[in-house]
Amino acid sequence: NRLPNEVKAALPGVPWEDIRDIRILVDHVYHRIDYDALWQTLHDDVPDLLDQLEGWET
């Protein structure tokens, strides 16, 4: 929620709402996390996210 809208607009392919939802889940509902699904997200989706963010400057 603290990420400026300009940043979100500059990187429209990034799933900002999904990232926020995962953070909320890990922070507040950690006792109900599906760790296999979380690991799969980290393994499959984070590398693509890093590729999208690479080279981006403020």
Flag whether pLDDT at 1 surpasses 80. no
Question: Model confidence over 5-31: pLDDT tens digits?
Answer: 999 999 999 999 999 998 998 899 888
Q: What pLDDT score does 20 carry?
A: 92
User: Mean of the per-residue pLDDT values for the chain?
Assistant: 90
Number of domain units in the chain: 1
Q: Is residue 58 in a domain?
A: no
Q: Is residue 23 in a domain?
A: yes
Q: Identify which has the larger pLDDT, 29 or 57.
A: 29
Q: Is residue 46 in a domain?
A: yes
Block residue for tokens 């900002």: 16
Which residue range forms the structural domain that includes residue 47? 5-53
Q: What pLDDT score does 9 carry?
A: 92
Q: What pLDDT score does 5 carry?
A: 92
**pTM summary value:** 0.74
